[in-house]
A and B are shown apart, each in its own frame.
Chain A
Amino acid sequence: MLFAQVEKTFWAEGSGSSALWLKILMAVVVGFGLTFAMLKLPARGRRTLVVGITFLAGLYWVLYYLWPQPLPGRLANGSPLPHGQPRDLVESVGFWIKDAQPVVSDFANILSSFLLGLGVFSIIRIHGRKLFRRQPDWGFSAVLFLAMIAMVIVGYVNYYQTRYTPGSSKLELPSNWGSWQFANDLLFNGLLQQMDAAMFSVIAFYILSAAYRAFRIRSVEATILLSTALIVIFSLMGIVAYEWNNAVAHIPGATTGGIAGNFSLTEIYKWINQNVQTPAIRGIDFGVGIGALAMGLRLWLSLERGGASAA
């Protein structure tokens, strides 16, 4: 069955309609027009512009937090309530802010995706130069490019085949795979994912050497660090925990709420975790949160000259 599309507004046009494409085209043209207009902007105007835009962007979320949102027009499970209509300005603004939320949440994400090109450009420039100037290690840059190009081609062809070709559903099953799917699987699962796992597991080595170097009874702090870490590690070592807890369990009353019951390794760790680790981390995070809030305010209101806020 067919569902009707929501009614057209100034902002929304029927999918595939020429009107939509026209508006999109115009939007792009206007956008670029503005960009080039900005080239002519006098130095004074620049800061004002950037500051203003930054402020507006932040203002949305502040309003979202402070402006009273109308009582729910719809339930958590999607079924509508009768009075979902604004009655006055306050509410219509409220509705507008509410409806805009899913749209706005995507902005940052979309914009930074557009910026990825810059990153790629940086890579291409650095390794391209190595390659063409035959600088030392240019061979490896060549390898990098090969890998990159291969992944891009294979990735997109596979994406196209598994989405937009007739009978593509079959490709779900490896038994129906074509060479592109195998290539994609080899590059992505066989290599990329596998290398992720490999690099992740390298950490184990570093943990060993770091612990070996750092866990010295040098200062009070180091000693505390060491001893807590050891308690926890022991509580994770099955045999030790097993024996220890057994020993504890044999203390009369341990299993029936006696004090002794709290001294099984696992309980000790749990206690440390809940009464020292948790509040300690909470304390740090509280400070960090305040710091982030302050930093956020400084950025939003462009209070810092220089740095990242508009110069």
Chain B
Amino acid sequence: MATPDPTTPKSLGEKLQSLPRGILYLILVICTSVPLFFNIPVPNEPTQAAKDLFNALNSLPAGSTVLVGSDWTVSTRGETGGEFDALIRILMRKGIKFAVYTTADPQAPEVARDEIVMLSEDEKKHGGKGVERWNDWVSLGFFPNAEATANLIAADPTKAFGSKKDVKPDGTLGSALSSPVLKDIKTLTDFKMLILVTGTQTSTVTIERLSGKGLPLGMMVTGVMGPETAVYYDSRQLNGLCAGLKGVYDMETLMDGTFKGQVNFGRGKLYYPTLHFALALLIVAVIVGNVGMMISRKGKA
């Protein structure tokens, strides 16, 4: 659109209709940073889907092994990162072993690894056990072909992960299958659950190929993917689902109810209230624009 000619003085209506971007952007920065420093309570009723997911996780027996699909990277960290944190904290506290695999992005395993290490440190700092690679969790790395991988995992995890190696505490490599985490895994159902944290379409791939195999399936997706994934939750192909920032906050709220006095709140509690300010700003901006338009229309009339 042509920028309005600056020489003619603007009426209020025109002013309201053409606020300089700079100002808008500045306000947005403020709206998205200032609330981060305050802890603003937002009433929250976790969705049934999130509750189901949390209960499924919470009822896993200690020492059992779950499979974690980590298909997110820095670019969607705002949502998936929070979900991953919540998930891993729960697993750590319940003493559940987990194997992390990726079918989306060659960088994802590294991102997941760093996140887990960071969380483990944090848990230890607050008196938790934390986890040790190889003994409590293994990184199975990146699998190029999502469909084939899902099929193979369903058919025979030992085949799927057979070639994968991971680092022992002494720094040498060992076959992931021989690790304490996977040594008892013979078939798919030896995993107690599969939780997929994803910012891409690997969700549908996984559901199509791994649901209904007697393995409980949980999913943590971005806000955009929420509605389409909810369909599978309604048809009970998913045992639980948490979507977007709301999902993160739901998980944290639920954790707070169970793990009293531990670090339960993370991105969710920080980001969710902040999100409200951002969205509110958007709505206000739209209103201002329209009011401006009406005023100037009146002016013309």
Contact = CB atoms under 8 A, between A and B. Distances in A.
Interface stretch (B50-58, B61-69, B283-291): B283-291
The binding surface of chain B is classed by DSSP as helix
B279 A233 contact: yes
Contact of B74 (A78, A170, A196, A212): A196
B4 interface: no
B21 A209 contact: yes
Given A173-B167, A209-B21, A238 B282 contact: no
B43 A239 contact: yes
Interface in B242-282: 244, 246, 249, 272, 275-276, 278-282
Contact of B25 (A170, A173, A201, A209): A209
B255 to A, nearest CB: 17
A151 to B, nearest CB: 15
A78 B159 contact: yes
A77 interface: yes
Contacts of A242: 43-45
B167 A217 contact: no
A102 to B, nearest CB: 10
B230 A270 contact: yes
A92 interface: no
B42 A205 contact: no
A72 to B, nearest CB: 14
15 contacts: A77-B152, A169-B167, A172-B167, A172-B173, A176-B171, A193-B73, A194-B74, A209-B25, A212-B282, A212-B289, A216-B293, A217-B293, A238-B44, A270-B227, A274-B231
A212 B293 contact: no
B179 to A, nearest CB: 14
A193 B289 contact: no
B93 interface: no
B75 A200 contact: yes
A238 B42 contact: yes
A211 B47 CA distance: 29
B249 A238 contact: yes
B289 A213 contact: yes
Contacts of A95: none
Nearest to B169: A173
Contacts of A207: 282
A143 interface: no
B75 to A, nearest CB: 5
B208 interface: no
Interface string B100-111: 000000010010
A230 interface: yes
B94 interface: no
B14 interface: no
A188 to B, nearest CB: 8
Interface of B: 1, 19, 21, 24-25, 28, 32, 42-45, 47, 73-75, 77-78, 107, 110, 151-152, 155-156, 159, 165-167, 171-173, 223, 227, 230-231, 244, 246, 249, 272, 275-276, 278-283, 285-286, 288-290, 293
Interface string A49-77: 00000000000000000000000000011
A239 B230 contact: no
Given A169-B171, A204-B278, A196 B75 contact: yes
Contact of A208 (B74, B272, B282): B282
B107 A193 contact: yes
A215 B272 contact: no
A216 B285 contact: no
A193 B72 CA distance: 13
A208 B167 contact: no
Contacts of B246: 236, 238
A211 B44 contact: no
Nearest to B31: A208
B28 A208 contact: yes
A299 B170 CA distance: 58
Nearest to B165: A169
Interface in A175-191: 176, 189
A239 B24 contact: no
B75 A204 contact: no
A122 to B, nearest CB: 26
